[in-house]
Structure 1
Amino acid sequence: MKFSEFNKEEEWADLAPYLDTCLLPVTGLTGEETPPEAADKAAEAGKWLQPLELAFRGRTVTLPAYHYADVSDEGERERLVRYCERVKRSAYRYLIVVTGEAGWTAQTIPPADLIAGPAEAGEEPDPEALKRAVAALWKGIRD
């Protein structure tokens, strides 16, 4: 479910016990992109997000996208890490960061329970592999 689908606090209170996992799309913009480049980065994150939203509707909540996160900049990376820590404390047992940026690992954003994104530039999402990774997370299996 998307965060905007909850229109009343009571709805969230009733559903929260079943929605223990949030998906946080992170675009990875630096502010130096042209509009087409920014659109491409957002689309790349969306390609990785869509299979997760489809497979786990009713168990996950998709948060608003975190767009400006140049993780090569230590200050920006730390800001994203603090944001992820707050999100987890607020309501979720599991946080899955979804990005179209290549090479992010568990060390990139330590509060994330899973990073869903390409290992290498140009890699396309494998919906079955993504589903297995989330299922393993829920079963407590770590790499």
Structure 2
Amino acid sequence: MLWNSQEVEVFLKERDYIDTAIVPLLPVSLDKEMKQAASQGEFMSMLTVVLEKQFKGRMMLLPAYTYMNVEEGEENQLRLQKWTNELKAQGFKHVFCLTSDSSWKEREQNINAEVIWLPTVPLEHMDEPYKRTIIEDQVKQLVTTIVQKWQIV
């Protein structure tokens, strides 16, 4: 399910069957890392939309959790922890945070969610068919990871 009024309406009716939330974690930077942050955002946006299509009816793709790259890690962690705690309180059994920022993996135990780290693939100079192929390959790997995590619980 995508985060739009039409799909949220379906979610509200079918809530019992949608047990997984996907939260993309996106850094925002206005300094020398701005291009890298934008590249991460582009990659994560494309990836999560394709992922959501694979699991339509089982997962809700939430708006990205954005944070300034200059924020303190603990401050970010506490804020994300509030998000994930609320998602669990609202009935999501599985919460996956997808990121290209490896620092989140170190804080995974403290945020009540599974953090899945993916290296950013720079897409800016690729033609569209090649981009789609790269994204689809990444999603295949991600699908396997998510299905394995579902089976653990």
- Fold shared by both chains (TM-score > 0.5): yes
* Alignment RMSD (CA, Å): 3.0
CA displacement, residues 10-53 of structure 1 (integer Å, 9 cap, x when unaligned): x4342101111011111022565776554323113224423421
Long gaps (5+) in structure 1 = none
What pairs with 1:10-25 in structure 2 (closer than 5 Å)? 11-25=10-24
What pairs with 1:121-140 in structure 2 (closer than 5 Å)? 126-140=138-152
Long gaps (5+) in structure 2 = 123-133
Which residue of the partner structure matches residue 57 of structure 1? 56
Give the direction of change, closer, same or farther, for the CA distance of 1:12–1:130 in structure 2 (3 Å limit). Answer: closer
Identity %: 19
> Could you state the TM-score of these two structures normalised by the residue count of structure 1?
0.74
Which residue of the partner structure matches residue 97 of structure 2? 97
Q: Distance in 2 between matches of 1:49 and 1:19?
A: 16
Give the direction of change, closer, same or farther, for the CA distance of 1:84–1:104 in structure 2 (3 Å limit). Answer: same
Which has more radius of gyration?
2
> Could you state the TM-score of these two structures normalised by the residue count of structure 2?
0.70
Q: Distance in 2 between matches of 1:138 and 1:7?
A: 23
Q: Distance in 1 between matches of 2:74 and 2:29?
A: 13
- Asked whether the equivalents of residues 99 and 117 of structure 1 are also in contact (C-alpha less than 8 Å), the reply is yes
Give the direction of change, closer, same or farther, for the CA distance of 1:43–1:33 in structure 2 (3 Å limit). Answer: farther
- Asked whether the equivalents of residues 26 and 66 of structure 1 are also in contact (C-alpha less than 8 Å), the reply is yes
How many residue pairs get aligned? The number is 137
Aligned-partner residue type, residue 43 of structure 1: E
Q: Distance in 2 between matches of 1:26 and 1:12?
A: 22
Q: Distance in 1 between matches of 2:88 and 2:45?
A: 22
More helix per residue: 2
Which residue of the partner structure matches residue 128 of structure 2? none
